Amino acid sequence: GESVGLHLPTLSVQEGDNSIINCAYSNSASDYFIWYKQESGKGPQFIIDIRSNMDKRQGQRVTVLLNKTVKHLSLQIAATQPGDSAVYFCAVISGGYNKLIFGAGTRLAVHP
């Protein structure tokens, strides 16, 4: 079955630096990937998505990179701000009916 994992459980960065959060997946047939941000006590918030026919997609201060060869995707946050502090999850569509498989999550801590 599908498994999704993250390389680092916790990432500490200085305010203003760029952050990179990594994610690995196991199913080479996965074709849709989403990054979510979850603040403490809240539901996950959609950040950005990417399909397998792309290798890069940019949003506002965020970029997602997809490397299908090694089944790896990353989320880059430019000029990280204190409000970016949260847990970030990658999620992969698996099977029918839009069933999402979530990674373990990476906690991003932004220090002033």
Q: Shortest distance, CB of residue 82 to other proteins, whole angstroms?
A: 21
When binding is defined by CB under 8 A, the residue of 63, 71, 102, 109 that contacts other proteins is 102
Q: What is the 3-state secondary structure (H, E, C) of 61-111?
A: CEEEEEECCCCEEEEEECCCCHHHCEEEEEEEECCCCCCEEECCCEEEEEE
Q: Which stretch binds other proteins (CB under 8 A): 20-28, 58-66, 69-77, 95-103?
A: 95-103
62 binds other proteins (CB under 8 A): no
Q: For other proteins, which is the closer residue by CB, 17 or 93?
A: 93
CB 108, min distance to other proteins, A? 15
> Looking at 18-26, 44-52, 59-67, 70-78, which segment touches other proteins (CB under 8 A)?
44-52
Buried b (16+ CB within 10 A) or exposed e, 58-81: eeeebbbbbeeeebebbbbbeebe
